[in-house]
Structure 1
Amino acid sequence: MKFGLLLPHFGEQASREKLLEGSKLAEAKGFDSVWVRDHLVFEPHGEMEKPNRTFYDALTTLTAIGAVTEKLELGTGSLIPFRHPLVTALMAGTITQLVGPRLILGFGAGTFDHEFEAIGWGDLDRVEAVRSNAEILKRVFTENDVTYDDGIFSFENVTIEPKPVGGRVPFWYCGATPRSARLAAEYADGWMPGRISLATMDRRIQKMREMTDASGRPMPTVAVIPPTSIEETREEALQHVNVPGLLAWANKAKFAVKPPRVPSRPSRTWRASSSSATRTRPSRRSGSSRRWASSTWCSTSGSSSTDSSSRSSSSAARCCRSCADAGTRGADQ
């Protein structure tokens, strides 16, 4: 099991000092990895973030952090496919040449249509574009004179140099839906959801194991990036969490595993030994969905051997004091 941090490269917290000095401190304290998100036209998530549209580019940020650290793995959680995959291939290969074989490329389809409409890709099948990126990157990282055409991207006799140091860069699929887990089991080296309950995550992992057992593929590394808030006490930590906003998000989600209903306790009746009087204690209601967990938890890692051209991608992101599990209780995603 490994631990990483999502970096403050967006919104009001984005700053050179926090990114570079914070990453050096994370390495000194024993964290295994640091992670970035990805947007082109950033719109803050209302339930979690203040309305500041500052957003430092994901791969540029990781390059700078790699230059001031030695061992931290550098991950994207996740890139969205608004770049041509050949551009991503060149950037990824360059990063590894400059800072070593520490990069993990997590990809997701993205949430917002406007980011793709802005570059004329509004009709793009983004889920299929992620698959295209996986296939193209795999080939141009290890081959020369590549010809490719899948109906989304096409090119002939392309060679991208430099190749990544250490072999093919691990490719992870990021997302919490059942389909995202299935796609990770089908062609990715790892799977990483964000906000997800432990019960939902367990069900996704079971499905992935069924698929990889049947196909003979290695089980992808499993990781998670949950919302976190860390303070000396649970009460202090919760002061920084928008509980109503996260609950509203959770209850709009469509594919979560619902927790079992907790039955109300029956009324209790007892008698005083010295009299015949009886007292009835009212039954308690089952626990409220506003109850939040603050214990430390982490993802489980599947064994993640890859082919000889691929570096191991066994680092699992990602957690500290987590609100994610309780935050999706009662959700219908």
Structure 2
Amino acid sequence: MTTRFGLLVPHFGLEADPDLLVEGARLAEARGFDSLWVRDHLVFHPHGMEGTDRTFIDPFVTLSYLAGVTERIGLGAATIIPFRHPINLAYSVASMSWITRRKFDLGIGAGTFDHEFAVIGQADEDRVQMMKEQVLIARRLWSGETIEWNSERYTFTDVDLKPQPLHPVPVWWGGATPAAARLAVDFCEGWLPGRITFPTYLQRMKKIKEMCVAQGKPMIMTGAVPVTSIDDTTRSAVERLNVPGLIKNANAQKFWVKPKSGEFTKIEELDGSILAGTPDDIVGGIQRYQELGCDLLVFDFRMRFPDYLQQIEVLAKEVLPRVQATAGAAAR
């Protein structure tokens, strides 16, 4: 199988910087990465494992900006949350597709933080159903239809959208829960759980394959977004991570497969959600994902944004050629 490789870009937090965004995007394209990826927030309160800086640049603005300084690299969002009116969502995606002429992967999800919905008067909404409805509307608009809609959330008539996206927009459901995997199979072209441990990924993949067979549909695409840190030694790579914060975040994941003790206590137990170590270690982690059937890996260097460009170089020169060769040999 051939795995696509993307990068989460520094459009948030202390290191968010226009020059770093441009340098990183150009370097990623020059080194053969497939895509650049963004997150989505409305009122950004960083996760406990992150820093405290609340800088956050709009995802569609960020991707359009980076498309303007690169030539061909793909674009992706992991994941867009249902803050927007569905016509606005459809309009943003179509406009970006048209003006950048790039392929765009749309990750979607229900969101994590209640406060972001409270500020727009949607604290009591069923966010899963809201996201599904938004995408149903967007897909029809992208197809060129003139549509009307009448539901409890949205009512409008005689709406069309020009231009339509230049390329098909694959939709990925984000989230590592069993429900997210089911929604991906029922509703999307792909499943993109973000951080996820290998045992949890294996469990979800087994279920996804069963659901696809039961529905008589081809296997959907699958991916992951591991926090990544590469260094000369495994120890030094791990030391660059917020290990207590990552362990605390992992223990808050109700649906991850837990170790036998019932609680995550050490970094090794987070393997898969984190790829940290020497280039050899990272090769091994990527190969494990490939063995499990992963189609897309987006490397999350948020804890290495201070040396983001160096991390891209090491990944491109010392890791990816080895896993791409392995994948090619397996395909033959």
TM-score (norm 2): 0.80
Q: Identity across aligned pairs (percent)?
A: 41
Equivalent residue for 1:291, pick from 268, 283, 295: 268
Matches within 5 A, 1:97-246: 97-166=98-167, 168-246=168-246
Cα deviation, 1:135-166, whole Å, max 9, x if unaligned, reads: 11111100321122343223222101110102
Residue 297 of structure 2 is matched in structure 1 by 317
Give the Cα separation in 2 of the matches to 1:213 and 1:37.
32
Deviations 1:235-261 (A, max 9, x none): 221121111121122122211123457
Alignment of 1:35 with 2:15, yes or no, is: no
C-alpha change, 1:190 and 1:237, in structure 2 (3 Å) is same
Aligned partners of 1:159, 1:288: CA distance in 2, in Å? 53
> C-alpha separation between the residues in 2 aligned to 1:145 and 1:65?
31
Distance 2:292 2:100 in 1: 27
CA pair 320-245 structure 1, distance change in 2 beyond 3 A: closer
**8 Å CA contact 2:73, 2:102 repeated in 1:** no
**Unaligned ranges ≥5, structure 2:** 304-332
Shift in alpha-carbon separation, 1:31–1:140, aligned structure 2, 3 A: same
- Tell me, yes or no, if the aligned pair for 1:230 and 1:320 is still in contact at 8 Å: no
Partner of 2:317: none
Q: Match of 2:4, SS?
A: coil
Q: Is the 8 A contact 2:42 2:116 kept in 1?
A: yes
- Cα RMSD (Å) of the superposition? 2.4
What's the CA shift string for 1:146-188, capped at 9, x where partnerless? 122343223222101110102x311111111110000000010
Q: Does the residue aligned with 2:149 lie in a helix, a strand or coil?
A: strand
Are 1:10 and 1:53, in contact at CA under 8 Å, matched by a contact in 2?
A: yes
Q: Which runs of 5+ in 1 are unaligned?
A: 262-286, 304-313, 324-333
Where in structure 2 are the equivalents of 1:265-276 lying within 5 Å?
none
* 1:212 alignment partner, SS class: helix
The TM-score, its normalising length taken from structure 1, stands at 0.80
Amino acid at match of 1:193: P
Structure 1 counterpart of 2:254: 254
SS at structure 1 position matched to 2:135: helix
Q: CA deviation at 1:85?
A: 1.2
Mapped contact 2:75–2:102 kept (Cα < 8 A) = no
Task: Give the aligned partner of residue 15 of structure 2.
Answer: 13
User: Matched residue of 1:223: which SS?
Assistant: strand
- In structure 1, what is the Cα distance between the partners aligned to 2:22 and 2:217? 37
Q: Equivalents in 1 of 2:153, 2:209: separation in Å? A: 30
TM-fit CA distance, 1:87 = 0.5
SS at 2:206 equivalent: helix
Partner amino acid for 2:174? C
